[in-house]
C-alpha cells in the first residue's frame, strides 16, 4: 500500500530486554541499544492511504494513528514489532488485521499540528480488552537532530515490520520511504495508558522525543521469506491486551 505519514512524534523509553521479550512470540527477538530494549509511543497522521497506481482510497485515506512498538529481529530480518495501533476508522482496522496481521484497535482519535505544537488524543473502544486505554500528548517541535547520532539511527532506521498470522506463523513486510527528516521535541503534556495496556510496566523516566514532518511510504505485502520458522510456538502473553 502507499501512504504518507505526517507530523510523526516519537516518544521512546528504555526497558529491560527481558520484560519486552516475554511479550514476543517464538522466533522473534528484541533488539537492544546500550543494553536496553526501547519501547515507543508514536502518534502521527496517516494521509493518502491507497494502492499503487490507483491513488488514495475514497473516504478512508486520512486518519490519525497512535501505535505502541518496539524493535526486533527474526531470522535475517530486522523491523518494527507493534503491540497496538489505535485509529478512528473501522474499515482500515479490519483490513490491516486481516492482511498484515497487525493488532489495530478502533476508537476516537485526533492528531494535529498548529505551528510548533503537535497535539494528540486517543481513546480505545474496541477490542474490549483494555477498552478505555488512551493517550493525551502535546509536544513542541525544535531543531534538527544530528543524523549521525547512533541512538537516533537505531530508533528510526527500520525498513520493515514483523507480525504473526492468526495461526501463529511469522510474516515480514518491507517498508520503503526516504530517510526521516528528524527534529528534537519536548513534552508539554503526557498522560497515557497505552503502554501499560500492551502488557508493559508504566514508563517512569522522561522519554527520548523527536518529531518529523513526514515521509512518503510504500508497504509491501507480507511474506514468510527471511523470518524464523514458527509453527505452534507460544503466543505472546499480551494476547488479551494490546488489541490482539
CATH of the domain at 134: 2.40.400.10
Distance CA 50, CA 159 (A): 19
Residue-wise over 13-48: b if at least 16 C-beta within 10 A, else e?
A: bbbebeebbebbbbbbebbbeeeebbbbbbbbbbbb
Place of cell 518529531: 211
* Consecutive H or E run containing 240: none
Who has greater pLDDT, 73 or 99? 73
pLDDT digits (tens, 9 = 90+) for 193-225: 999 999 999 999 999 999 999 999 999 999 999
Count of C-beta atoms within a 10 Å radius of residue 127: 19
Lowest mean pLDDT among 35-49, 87-101, 119-133, 178-192: 87-101
Task: With respect to residue 229, please indicate whether it lies within any of the assigned structural domains.
Answer: no
Place of cell 488524543: 121
Number of domains in the chain: 1
Distance CA 23, CA 61 (A): 31
Q: How confident is the model at residue 33 (pLDDT cuts 50, 70, 90)?
A: very high
pLDDT of residue 119: 98
Task: With respect to residue 234, please indicate whether it lies within any of the assigned structural domains.
Answer: no
Q: What is the pTM of this model?
A: 0.92
pLDDT of residue 242: 57
User: Which grid cell sits at 230?
Assistant: 514458527
Task: With respect to residue 18, please indicate whether it lies within any of the assigned structural domains.
Answer: yes
Lowest mean pLDDT among 25-39, 123-137, 140-154: 123-137
pLDDT of residue 234: 46
Residue 84 clears pLDDT 80, i.e. is over it = yes
Task: With respect to residue 232, please indicate whether it lies within any of the assigned structural domains.
Answer: no
Task: With respect to residue 185, please indicate whether it lies within any of the assigned structural domains.
Answer: yes
pLDDT of residue 9: 98
User: Which grid cell sits at 12?
Assistant: 521512546
Average the pLDDT over 81-91 and give the result.
Answer: 93
Average the pLDDT over 157-166 and give the result.
Answer: 92
pLDDT of residue 240: 38
Query: Which range marks the domain in which residue 117 is found?
Result: 2-219
Task: With respect to residue 239, please indicate whether it lies within any of the assigned structural domains.
Answer: no
Q: How confident is the model at residue 167 (pLDDT cuts 50, 70, 90)?
A: confident
Task: With respect to residue 231, please indicate whether it lies within any of the assigned structural domains.
Answer: no
Task: With respect to residue 224, please indicate whether it lies within any of the assigned structural domains.
Answer: no
Amino acid at each position: 500500500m502507499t501512504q504518507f505519514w505526517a507530523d510523526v512524534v516519537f516518544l521512546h523509553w528504555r526497558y529491560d530486554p527481558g520484560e519486552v521479550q516475554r511479550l514476543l512470540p517464538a522466533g522473534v527477538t528484541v533488539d537492544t541499544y546500550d543494553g536496553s530494549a526501547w519501547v515507543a509511543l508514536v502518534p502521527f497522521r496517516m494521509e493518502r492511504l491507497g494502492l499503487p497506481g490507483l491513488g488514495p482510497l475514497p473516504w478512508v485515506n486520512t486518519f490519525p494513528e497512535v501505535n505502541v512498538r518496539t524493535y526486533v529481529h527474526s531470522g535475517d530480518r530486522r523491523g518494527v514489532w507493534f503491540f497496538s495501533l489505535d485509529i478512528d476508522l473501522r474499515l482500515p482496522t479490519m483490513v490491516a488485521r486481516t492482511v498484515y496481521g497487525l493488532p489495530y484497535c478502533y476508537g476516537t482519535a485526533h492528531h494535529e499540528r498548529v505551528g510548533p505544537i503537535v497535539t494528540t488524543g486517543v481513546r480505545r473502544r474496541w477490542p474490549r480488552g483494555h477498552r478505555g486505554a488512551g493517550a493525551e500528548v502535546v509536544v513542541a517541535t525544535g531543531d534538527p537532530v544530528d543524523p549521525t547520532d547512533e541512538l537516533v539511527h537505531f530508533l528510526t532506521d527500520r525498513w520493515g515490520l514483523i507480525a504473526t498470522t492468526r495461526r501463529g506463523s511469522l510474516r515480514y513486510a518491507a517498508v520503503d520511504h526516504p530517510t526521516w527528516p528528524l527534529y528534537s521535541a519536548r513534552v508539554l503534556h503526557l498522560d497515557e495508558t497505552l503502554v501499560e495496556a500492551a502488557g508493559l510496566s508504566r514508563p517512569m523516566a522522561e522519554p527520548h522525543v523527536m518529531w518529523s514532518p513526514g515521509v512518503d511510504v510504500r508497504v509491501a505485502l507480507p511474506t514468510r521469506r527471511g523470518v524464523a520458522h514458527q509453527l505452534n510456538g507460544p503466543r505472546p502473553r499480551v494476547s488479551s491486551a494490546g488489541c490482539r
